[in-house]
């Protein structure tokens, strides 16, 4: 059997269920890995070790009594610090939220626990979960275990760094503008942004979400294999009545035509040669496996990205603008100012028009996806950015913002998307983004598994080595 911290979640769950390995043993090995590696990369910023050992021992006792341990039996996972986990502060990367102690688990945490997963730590996020870089004044900066010169992504940068470094098998992340897909891309991993309403969401420690987050924000998994994405996603998506938006729809939505559209440069955006090569290679691998692939334009992304910005900034203006000033975190203040300027006036007329345009765009995409059930497109127009590039200057922020346009667009449409790691270029991870219709995560993961089987399988990295 491989070294425990490089074993897949699927294999861990099978071994623990079969009593080949105990959950306690698996947990201790990962906690030792955290102790050895985490001080270098700062991916996990809240310690759950005592609770993790107690939960693993309790799981082993249930297994010994003949009870079903669940599909994620003994699998070590991390939870992002913007999600409620009982007895821990939901900081969202903010000093001002350090004393906000959750009294109950959020639905995604409850579901993962019920599935038998063991929470070994809580992962870092940028202040306000606002950036594609992970740094804040309370928890510090997270480094990418593949290459310390580049961002680990954000806002789920701690989750992606933890998975890439073997501190856990699954990282729970959240995504309102690429915050699962980009960290997965930057750390050479796979990451699934589910359909809105797929994974139940609720933080009892905070007021209910405003309309932008209700329509666009989701939880999902980051992992080193597509099998692990599927296993953890199916555990996350279980119904919880605390989320009125949740929809209990079967994971397997039936047969589909193996037809894929390839869009190398959505809306004419600039895309570097390395990303274009990854996209054309992915299309070729799908064609070799029976897919019909045609290069074509996809429906508008830029208009959807503009809606994302308007709704997100409207939420921030009403729910966090005063807190931005109180927190005094320089990087998030700078990024917020740039994003507000891009979103134009956040007023009633603009928000209502954005919501009206949103339904028109969703209609166009649904019609397109009837012909092309799968879209292959960039995660980002560039390879993963240098650390802190977005706050170096207004021009650098504008470049970063533009290159992330495909990530920003899809949340406004509520569509599922999968970032698939395909290898490395210039010592930086590279990958592609797959998009499908609402509640067709099954299709995304089948296509993702085909690409994974073509050759690249993400491995654990010691800092700072490509894996």
Active site residue 155: yes
Look at residue 4 and tell me whether its pLDDT is greater than 60: yes
In our burial notation (b when 16+ CB lie closer than 10 A, e otherwise), range 373-412 reads bbbbbbbbbbbbbebebbbeeeebbebbbbbbbbbbbbbb
What pLDDT does 467 receive? 73
What pLDDT does 108 receive? 98
Which one of 106, 129, 160, 179 is the catalytic residue? 179
* Per-residue pLDDT reduced to its tens digit, 201-233: 999 999 999 999 999 999 999 999 999 999 999
**CA separation, residue 10 to residues 40, 63, 72, 152, 408 (Å):** 28, 17, 8, 25, 31
* Contact partners, residue 147, CB within 8 Å, separation at least 6: 384, 427, 428, 464, 466
User: 3-state secondary structure string, 129-172?
Assistant: HCCCCCEECCCEECCCCCCCCECCCCCCHHHHHHHHCCCCCEEE
Active site residue 96: no
Q: Which two tokens stand for residue 107?
A: 């639905």
Are the beta carbons of 44 and 162 closer than 8 angstroms?
yes
Look at residue 2 and tell me whether its pLDDT is greater than 90: no
Look at residue 181 and tell me whether its pLDDT is greater than 70: yes
Which one-letter DSSP state was computed for residue 237?
T
Look at residue 301 and tell me whether its pLDDT is greater than 70: yes
What pLDDT does 456 receive? 86
- Arithmetic mean of pLDDT, 405-431: 98
- Distance (Å, whole) CA 220 – CA 108: 9
State the residue for tokens 């600039």: 270
CA 291 to chain centre: 27
Pinpoint the alpha helices (H) of 344-404: 348-371, 394-403
Are the beta carbons of 266 and 304 closer than 8 angstroms?
no
What pLDDT does 138 receive? 98
Task: Characterise 215 by phi-psi region: left (phi > 0), alpha (psi -120 to 50), beta (else).
Answer: alpha
Which one of 8, 106, 110, 155 is the catalytic residue? 155
Q: Name the nearest CA neighbour of 334 among 388, 381, 409.
A: 388
Alpha-carbon torsion (380, 381, 382, 388), positive or negative: negative
**Residue 430 pLDDT class (50, 70, 90 cuts):** very high
- Distance (Å, whole) CA 334 – CA 395: 12
* Per-residue pLDDT reduced to its tens digit, 66-102: 999 999 999 999 999 999 999 999 999 999 999 999 9
Percent of the residues in the chain that have a pLDDT greater than 90, as a whole number: 96
- Distance (Å, whole) CA 337 – CA 205: 27
**CA separation, residue 328 to residues 33, 95, 138 (Å):** 34, 10, 11
Taking the complete model, does pTM exceed 0.95, yes or no? Answer: yes
Residue 34: φ, ψ to 5°: -60, -45
Percent of the residues in the chain that have a pLDDT greater than 70, as a whole number: 99
Which one of 8, 17, 80, 399 is the catalytic residue? 80
173, containing H or E segment: strand 170-175
**Could you give the domains of the chain?**
4-453 (3.90.1300.10)
- Distance (Å, whole) CA 122 – CA 105: 13
What pLDDT does 290 receive? 98
* Per-residue pLDDT reduced to its tens digit, 342-372: 998 889 999 999 999 999 999 999 999 999 9
State the residue for tokens 């310690």: 47
Q: Which two tokens stand for residue 258?
A: 């193996």
Active site residue 8: no
- Arithmetic mean of pLDDT, 271-292: 98
State the residue for tokens 């699954």: 170
- Distance (Å, whole) CA 415 – CA 346: 24
**Residue 1 pLDDT class (50, 70, 90 cuts):** very low
Q: What is the largest CA-CA distance in the chain?
A: 61
State the residue for tokens 């006036």: 345
Look at residue 165 and tell me whether its pLDDT is greater than 50: yes
Look at residue 142 and tell me whether its pLDDT is greater than 70: yes
What pLDDT does 330 receive? 97
Q: Which two tokens stand for residue 96?
A: 């001002």
What pLDDT does 3 receive? 62
Q: How far apart are the first and last CA of the chain?
A: 19
* Per-residue pLDDT reduced to its tens digit, 36-52: 999 999 999 999 999 99
**Residue 466 pLDDT class (50, 70, 90 cuts):** confident
**What average pLDDT does the structure give for the chain?**
97
Are the beta carbons of 467 and 427 closer than 8 angstroms?
no
């Amino acid at each position: 059997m491989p070294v425990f911290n490089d074993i897949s979640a699927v294999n861990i769950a099978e071994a623990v269920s079969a009593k080949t390995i105990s959950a306690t043993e698996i947990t201790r090995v990962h906690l030792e890995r955290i102790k050895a590696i985490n001080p270098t990369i700062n991916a996990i910023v809240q310690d759950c070790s005592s609770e993790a050992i107690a939960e693993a021992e309790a799981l082993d006792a249930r297994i010994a009594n003949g009870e079903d341990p669940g599909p994620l039996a003994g699998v070590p996972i991390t939870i992002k610090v913007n999600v409620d986990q009982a007895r821990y502060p939901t900081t969202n990367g903010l000093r001002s939220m350090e004393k906000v102690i959750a009294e109950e688990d959020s639905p995604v945490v409850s579901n993962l626990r019920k599935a038998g997963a063991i929470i070994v730590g809580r992962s870092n996020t940028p202040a306000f979960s606002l950036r594609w870089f992970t740094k804040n004044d309370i928890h510090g900066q997270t480094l990418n275990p593949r290459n310390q010169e580049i961002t680990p992504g954000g806002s789920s940068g701690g989750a992606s760094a933890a998975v890439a470094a073997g501190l856990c098998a699954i990282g729970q992340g959240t995504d309102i503008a690429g915050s699962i897909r980009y960290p997965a891309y930057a750390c050479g991993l796979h990451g699934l942004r589910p359909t809105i309403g797929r994974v139940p969401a609720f933080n009892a420690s905070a007021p209910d979400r405003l309309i932008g987050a209700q329509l666009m924000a989701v939880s999902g998994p980051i992992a080193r294999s597509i099998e692990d994405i599927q296993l953890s996603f199916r555990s996350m998506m279980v119904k919880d009545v605390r989320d009125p938006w949740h929809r209990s729809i079967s994971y397997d939505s039936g047969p589909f035509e193996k037809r894929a559209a390839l869009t190398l440069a959505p809306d004419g955006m600039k895309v570097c040669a390395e990303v274009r090569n990854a996209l054309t290679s992915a299309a070729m691998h799908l064609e070799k496996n029976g897919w019909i692939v045609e290069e074509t334009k996809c429906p508008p992304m830029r208009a959807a990205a503009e809606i994302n910005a308007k709704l997100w900034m409207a939420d921030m203006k009403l729910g966090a603008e005063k807190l931005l000033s109180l927190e005094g975190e320089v990087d998030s203040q700078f990024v917020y100012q740039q994003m507000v300027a891009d979103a134009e006036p956040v007023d009633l007329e603009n928000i209502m028009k954005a919501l009206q345009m949103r339904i028109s765009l969703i209609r166009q995409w649904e019609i397109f996806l009837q012909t092309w059930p799968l879209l292959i497109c960039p995660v980002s127009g560039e390879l993963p950015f240098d650390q802190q590039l977005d706050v170096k200057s207004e021009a650098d922020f504008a470049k970063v913002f533009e290159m992330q346009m495909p990530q920003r667009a899809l949340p406004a449409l509520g569509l599922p998307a999968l970032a698939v790691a395909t290898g490395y270029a210039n010592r930086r991870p590279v990958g592609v983004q797959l998009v499908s219709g609402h509640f067709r995560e099954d299709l995304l993961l089948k296509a993702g598994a085909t690409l994974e089987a073509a050759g690249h399988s993400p491995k654990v990295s010691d800092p700072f080595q490509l894996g």
